[in-house]
């Protein structure tokens, strides 16, 4: 019998206090701005046609606040189990945590800055490369999230830019070189139909 897969819906957290200041946030736990909270509620309106059986966010407050706002508008009358997963947190920016991105671009130069932000296996002093993020995200996806989808249940993930890029790499079979061109924008929702291996069958993007 063919497995009827559930839908996977992925959202990035809303604007945080450090996003607004242009700082690399990483593991630092900062709240959403008022704009971030408002836009997160609006994101929920984009998926009012969905009923979720399970929700995963990260163990960082900006992800959890976004998740709460989304659920308050897309599923206000439903009690949905939400699990906070540390593997879904943002990339650790190591020694660059708290530094202003645009100041660092001037210091490092555009080419080095782009490799640092978007490269696949490009190191950060005392931090993580995207490959390292991928290596912690994928066991969570394959062992915890995919089995739920294979039961035909719909799953919402609310995470962070680089953790989502890691998921997109696997789901969409994006190469190591091509991943540098991929970014998960704010205020967007990814909706995936998947095969039983967790790879892309169909993708829809909804954005405010």
List, edge to edge, every strand of the sheet that includes 82-85: 82-85, 54-58, 155-159, 8-12, 188-194, 200-207
- Contact of 184 with 12, CB cutoff 8 Å: yes
- Active-site residue, from 13, 65, 87, 160: 13
Neighbour-count burial for 140-172, b at 16+ CB within 10 Å, e otherwise = bbeeebbebbbeeebbbbbbbbbbbbbbbbbbe
Q: Is residue 13 flagged as an active site residue?
A: yes
Q: Is residue 84 flagged as an active site residue?
A: no
17 burial via Cβ count (<10 Å: 0-12, 13-18, 19+): middle
* Residue 32: strand pairing partners: 16
- Active-site residue, from 65, 90, 128, 160: 90
- DSSP letter for 181, please: G
Catalytic residue numbers, as ranges: 13, 90
């Amino acid at each position: 019998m063919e497995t009827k897969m559930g839908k996977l819906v992925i959202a990035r957290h809303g604007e945080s206090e450090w996003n607004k200041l242009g700082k690399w946030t990483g593991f630092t736990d900062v709240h959403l701005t008022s704009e971030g909270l408002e836009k997160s509620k609006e994101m929920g309106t984009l998926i009012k046609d969905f009923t979720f059986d399970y929700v995963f966010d990260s163990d960082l407050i900006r992800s959890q606040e976004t998740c709460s706002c989304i659920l308050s508008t897309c599923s206000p009358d439903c009690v949905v189990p939400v699990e906070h997963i540390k593997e879904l947190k943002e990339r650790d920016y190591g020694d660059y945590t708290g530094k202003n991105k645009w100041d660092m671009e001037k210091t490092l130069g555009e080419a080095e800055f782009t490799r640092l932000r978007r490269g696949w296996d490009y190191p950060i002093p005392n931090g993580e490369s995207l490959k390292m993020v991928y290596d912690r995200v994928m066991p969570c996806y394959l062992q915890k999230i995919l089995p739920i989808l294979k039961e035909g249940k719909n799953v919402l993930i609310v995470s962070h830019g680089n953790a989502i890029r890691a998921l997109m790499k696997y789901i969409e079979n994006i190469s190591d070189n091509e991943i540098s061109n991929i970014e998960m924008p704010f205020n967007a929702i990814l909706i995936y139909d998947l095969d039983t291996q967790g790879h892309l069958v169909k993708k829809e993007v909804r954005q405010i």
